Chains A and B, each alone.
Chain A
Amino acid sequence: MNEKILCQGYQRRDGTKGIRNKVLIVFTVECSKYVCRKIAEYFQNIGEDVETIGSHSCLHNQVNIRRMLKYCTHPNVGGVLVIGHGCEYTYPSMLAKEAERSGREAAWFYQQEAGGTKKSIIRGITIVQDMLDKLKNVPRIPMYIQDLVIGGECGGSDFTSGLAGNALIGSVFDYVADHGGTAVFEELSEGIGLKDYLVSRGIDDKVKQDIANAYDKTVDFCSAYGQFSIAPGNMDGGLTTIEEKSMGAMVKSGRRPIQSVLKIAQSPTRKGVHLLDVIPDEKLEPAHFIAADPSDMLDLIAAGCHIVFLVTGRGHVVGTPVSPVVKVTGNPRTYNRMQDDIDFCAAGLLDGTESMPDMTERMLKKLRSICCGRLTNAEKMGHREGILYFNYQDPVNVPKCWQF
């Protein structure tokens, strides 16, 4: 087989391959976030790839625990330091144990036991320095499209998103699926009005039923709260209804069959395109879980995405602590205004100056260079947003429709 090498990936001991070699500092409650941030900033200032992520609440939440476990064992992550405050429900030791079991460098402590802010920061810096030294020896191994998991997300949509930016990512999804790779998309709340279309893409009867169930649950959820995924900015940009936005949004998943419906923090078990369901299975106020684009991207990353494409029409700036984010717009005005933030302009599809195959090739080139270590604009700018909101899902059973 004539396989083209994508990049030299980082070989993890659990068999996965990463495109980054990060140390992740995890806080188990808001109270230990400051110490984690300070340690990370020390290393960020000297150009090391050290990031923070964590849970903000004293209480714990099953979905959040599953997410954090996935970040601690993510292919892009080589080492994990978990710092707790000392009285929260989430156990830093349990997160560190799973990270260690997956072959990552791992350590943990409580800041109460370490002696407070200053001593914790010094202790953390010592631990992370040691991890970074060890991560220099992580073997490099050829990585192919088959090893890659990509994610697609849109944020700040306008009329160009469906016509250009998402259409381009749909074409990239098709390429990745056709070459044995894996791609994940979500935003069922932006699939409203498209049940028949989405169900028709299920690979078999079971997946079709899963898609239908997840769709019905989403409509119930949005109807119950009167909150559909269309906001004033979208309307200003020319989108009038959720149905119109939906069609534009779903274009980014390409045209290949949907292999499965994933719950949050579940990994695809086969190659191809997968739909991620982020809607709670149980009744929950939307403010508790509907966050924003960075949190949605972190859910894609909890499914294992090495890299996420964020399509925007109105403009976007965000990144994530775990995986690079490639921002794409089809709106030439937005690109000209926000070139420091946006990585790729897809406007050529609208004015006819670039064909879809040519633009797809240009994007794949970009993808390869980012996999090889070239920084995205979000990484250059130091964007690392993402708050983990509570959610309630059962990863085993298919979602049931809500009863009202």
Chain B
Amino acid sequence: MKKMDQICYIVHETDNVATAMEDVTAGDIKLTGENKNRKGEMIALQQIPFGHKVALCDMEEGDQILKYGVCIGIATKKIRKGMHVHLHNMKSAYDFRSAQLDPVTVHAKDIEYKMY
């Protein structure tokens, strides 16, 4: 059986990330939405969870991450085309606290659950 296309959705034509419409595994993905500036197909380098973002081009540390055509944050390290873009490699330009959350569990590291 042919594997179904893995769809990632681009909200605005200037965006440099797309949103995974399902749990995407590393491999071929199909770009939908406002995709006229991009080739329709590309390769995801790693797993992209449902609803998370994939990089549409290579980015340097400090580059703006664009979604909805607006800057939704800043890259905190080099990001290669096809990589998962989330808390581990980007941060808000406003919210200094969220960048310190655990990237996997997204739990706050500055609050202890500890009984005295």
Contacts and interface: CB of A to CB of B under 8 A. Distances in A.
A380 B51 CA distance: 31
A243 B107 CA distance: 19
Nearest to B96: A226
Interface string B85-101: 11100111111111001
Interface string A189-204: 0001110010000000
Interface string A347-368: 0001100000000000000000
Contacts of A47: none
What size tier do the contact residues of chain B reach? 20 to 34
A222 B95 contact: yes
A330 B67 CA distance: 18
A18 B90 CA distance: 48
Contacts of B108: 232
B11 interface: yes
A241 B92 contact: yes
B70 A241 contact: no
Nearest to B21: A350
A333 B49 CA distance: 14
Contacts of B91: 241
Contacts of B70: 193-194, 197, 243, 247
A382 B52 CA distance: 35
A287 to B, nearest CB: 13
A36 to B, nearest CB: 36
A158 B93 CA distance: 20
Contacts of A158: 51
A213 interface: no
Interface of A: 158-160, 162-163, 192-194, 197, 219, 222-223, 226-228, 230, 232, 235-244, 247-248, 313, 333, 350-351
Interface of B: 9, 11, 19-21, 49-53, 65, 67-68, 70-73, 85-87, 90-98, 101, 105-108
Given A163-B11, A228-B92, A240-B72, 7 more contacts: A228-B95, A228-B97, A240-B85, A241-B91, A242-B94, A243-B73, A248-B68
